[in-house]
């Protein structure tokens, strides 16, 4: 521990990274103010941390920087019935992201990402369990495992995933088609096999959990300001400045936890970080959640279903198209069709939601101080796994802010890799 105790922290963003970081800091006795343009307790609060599939997936070490996927990308992009889509008007803005993606799409980078995702994913459930001791999670968290199903069409990719997980010592139980049907009898058997991660958990309401963590943060003395943050800077060696439309706020340190919106601030700080978004969608089938008892993901389709309190949440697809393009009805229809392929008995859907996964082209998050402004700490880029990684991110970032020593190798998460 360094002798100096940080006097105050401002956090931009009250998604799962921001709120978990705020909670850990306030528990260390450091005064914290979180800013968000929406109140986490309101209905208007609908960021990625609200609408995700709710999987706590500590096993999901392999990301999309894999050559087996790369060869399929052009085919997938040209098909409107595929898991990957592109908003063509956004392509010119993604050049830097694509450039870094191609650079990181090889076996060595894939395994590097897997190794360092594993380092933090492996700690993710325990970190949540610590928080769950302090909030009532009745009807909010379920521990029934998570099932992935697939057809025999892409067995090369499936075998690669199984091997990488095995090499990292990740527990997985392969399932035959019959075993899957035994576990989930309502599924239409359009798949050939699958895997269950029986220690995985799922949220029955991610927003409900986030609200409870946020309340705990407030009860411990944390402050919240609902405002759109316009800029963030370090003004002297021990002062950072957060500016909203009408006000300026000074903190000794600040944390950027604004998910896919974080690039605005790193650009202001003069760091070239190729953060972009993988847009994803969800719909609910109200009162249909009991058709399955745990999350089921259909890997060939890039989509999954989670039983939640709001209904059966069908979630998925990756659409590259930035933060401004409107919701795409084609993507919504794709998800509905996929859900009905697995559960033909489903009726009409409600709620159409578009969310923004914050994704860096090597699929590792950025966790650590800004290169040019040491009192500004980055906590973004958690892509498909930000829900799983919320609690552990809170622990890591609060440790960095407080100047604590860690046994973790944090170098791979530094923004240095892009500069
Ligand atoms: C369809 C979909 C399914 C997913 N499923 C899963 C899953 O099953 N498991 C999993 O682990 N992960 C999943 N994820 C990923 C996960 O949801 C995200 O990685 C995670 O929620 C990101 O958290 P965050 O706190 O970084 O960002 P966010 O949740 O986006 O929060 C950022 C916050 O910052 C605020 N903000 C931004 N800019 C400003 C500003 N200028 N001023 C004030 N406030 C600002 C926003 O209002 C927002 O509240 C999924 C994502 C999607 C889209």
Domains for the chain: give ranges and CATH numbers: 9-47+208-272+363-418 (3.50.50.60), 60-107+136-200+275-359 (3.30.9.10)
Q: Judge contact between 320 and 93, C-beta under 8 A.
A: no
Q: Judge contact between 76 and 83, C-beta under 8 A.
A: yes
Residues 6+ apart with CB under 8 A from 295: 53, 54, 55, 146, 147, 202, 304, 305, 306, 307
Residue 49 CA to ligand 1 center (angstroms) comes to 4
* pTM for the full predicted model: 0.97
pLDDT value at position 186? 98
pLDDT tens for each residue of 260-313: 999 999 999 999 999 999 999 999 999 999 999 999 999 999 999 999 999 999
SS3 readout for 162-221: HHHHHHCCCCCEEEEHHHHHHHCCCCCCCCCEEEEECCCEEECCHHHHHHHHHHHHHHCC
Residues 6+ apart with CB under 8 A from 159: none
Distance CA 10, CA 220 (A): 16
Tell me the pLDDT of the chain averaged across its residues: 96
Nearest atom in ligand 1 to the alpha carbon of residue 54 is: 8
pLDDT tens for each residue of 144-193: 999 999 999 999 999 999 999 999 999 999 999 999 999 999 999 999 99
Element (H or E) spanning 70, and its range?
helix 67-70
Distance CA 387, CA 128 (A): 10
Residue 374 CA to ligand 1 center (angstroms) comes to 24
Tell me the average pLDDT across 197-221.
Answer: 98
Verify whether ligand 1 is closer than 6 Å to residue 37 (CB atom).
yes
Residue 16 CA to ligand 1 center (angstroms) comes to 7
Verify whether ligand 1 is closer than 6 Å to residue 295 (CB atom).
no
Verify whether ligand 1 is closer than 6 Å to residue 376 (CB atom).
no
Verify whether ligand 1 is closer than 6 Å to residue 294 (CB atom).
no
pLDDT tens for each residue of 14-23: 999 999 999 9
- C-alpha closest to that of 170 among 132, 114, 128, 224: 114
CB count in 10 Å sphere of residue 44: 10
pLDDT value at position 164? 97
Tell me the best of 357, 379, 391 to mutate to test the pocket of ligand 1, counting ligand atoms within 8 Å of each CB and taking the most: 357
Element (H or E) spanning 148, and its range?
strand 146-150
Residue 1: pLDDT band by 50, 70, 90 thresholds?
very low
């Amino acid at each position: 521990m360094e002798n100096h105790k940080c006097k105050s922290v401002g956090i931009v963003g009250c998604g799962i990274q921001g709120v978990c970081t705020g909670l850990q800091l306030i528990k260390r006795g450091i005064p914290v103010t979180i800013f968000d343009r929406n109140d986490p307790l309101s209905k208007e609060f609908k960021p990625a941390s609200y609408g995700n599939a709710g999987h706590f997936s500590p096993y999901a070490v392999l990301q999309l920087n894999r050559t087996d996927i790369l060869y399929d990308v052009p085919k997938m992009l040209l098909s409107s019935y595929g898991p990957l889509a592109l908003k063509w008007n956004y392509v010119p803005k993604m050049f830097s992201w694509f450039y870094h993606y191609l650079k990181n799409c090889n076996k060595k980078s894939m395994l590097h990402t897997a190794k360092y995702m594993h380092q933090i994913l492996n700690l993710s459930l325990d970190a949540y369990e610590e928080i769950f001791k302090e909030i009532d999670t009745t009807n909010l968290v379920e521990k029934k495992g998570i099932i992935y199903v697939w057809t025999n069409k892409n067995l090369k990719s499936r075998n690669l995933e199984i091997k990488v997980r095995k090499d990292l010592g990740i527990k997985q139980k392969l399932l035959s088609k019959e075993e899957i049907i035994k576990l989930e009898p309502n599924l239409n058997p359009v798949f050939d096999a699958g895997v269950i991660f029986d220690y995985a958990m799922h949220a029955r309401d991610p927003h409900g959990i986030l609200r409870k963590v946020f309340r705990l943060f407030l009860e411990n003395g944390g402050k919240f300001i609902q405002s759109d943050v316009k800029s963030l800077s370090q003004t002297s060696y021990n002062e950072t400045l957060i500016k909203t439309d009408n006000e300026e706020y000074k903190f000794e340190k600040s944390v950027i936890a604004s998910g896919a919106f974080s690039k605005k601030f790193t650009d202001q700080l003069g760091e070239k970080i190729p953060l972009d978004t993988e847009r994803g969608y969800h719909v609910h089938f109200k009162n249909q959640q009991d058709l399955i008892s745990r999350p089921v993901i259909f890997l060939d389709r890039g989509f999954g279903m989670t039983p939640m309190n709001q209904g059966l949440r069908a979630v998925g697809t990756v659409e590259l198209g930035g933060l401004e393009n409107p919701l795409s009805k084609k993507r919504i229809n794709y998800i509905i069709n996929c859900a009905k392929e697995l559960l033909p008995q489903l009726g009409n859907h409600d709620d159409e939601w578009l969310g923004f996964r914050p994704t860096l082209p090597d699929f590792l998050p950025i966790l650590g101080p800004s290169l040019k402004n040491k009192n500004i700490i980055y906590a973004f880029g958690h892509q498909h796994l930000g829900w799983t990684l919320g609690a552990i991110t809170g622990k890591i970032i609060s440790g960095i802010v407080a100047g604590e020593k860690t046994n973790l190798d944090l170098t791979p998460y530094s923004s240095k890799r892009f500069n």
